Amino acid sequence: MKITVPKDCDNAPKRRIIRDFNLAFAHADLEAIAEYVHQDAVWNMVGDKEIVGRDAIIAYLGTLNYQKATAIELQVIITHGKFASAMGTLSYGKETIAFNDTYEFTSAGSSILKKFTNFAIPLK
């Protein structure tokens, strides 16, 4: 898998968490994803569906033909307090999806995500 991430993620703990969460997603690593997600988390896929609860999120990902991406490019990761955002692309063979996600941690000092909102657009 080709991985492109901002080089400055290592000097900001929340940026590193968002980077690692996205890498787990790109690797289709459900166990790693579950470690970042609060048991009562909410995943809002804008224009599609909302899933509530870590178990339901992991089960949903398990029902998809969820495969490891061939490439991920994280162009921007921004964090402030208990909020974060990431923008980039995920490629699966010939299909590339642009995404812009916002995240809310359980608190400013937490590494656990309680809410994430995902905007995803397939690129032509």
Inform me whether the pLDDT recorded for 12 exceeds 70: yes
Output b/e per residue, 85-107; b: 16+ Cβ within 10 A: ebbbbbbeeeebeebbbbbbbee
Q: What is the pLDDT of residue 3?
A: 93
pLDDT tens, residue by residue, 48-103: 999 999 999 999 998 876 789 999 999 999 999 999 999 999 999 899 999 999 99
pLDDT at residue 64, as a whole number: 74
**Residue 10 has what pLDDT?**
65
* Mean per-residue pLDDT over the chain, rounded: 93
- Statement: residue 9 has pLDDT above 70: no
- d(Cα 111, Cα 28) in Å, to the nearest integer? 20
Helix (H/G/I), strand (E/B), else coil: 6? coil
* Domains, the chain, ordered by start: 2-123 (3.10.450.50)
Q: Please give the C-alpha separations between residue 33 and each of 18, 58, 94, 121, 123, in angstroms, as whole numbers.
A: 11, 8, 25, 22, 25
Give pLDDT, residue 1: 92
SS3 of residue 9 by DSSP: helix
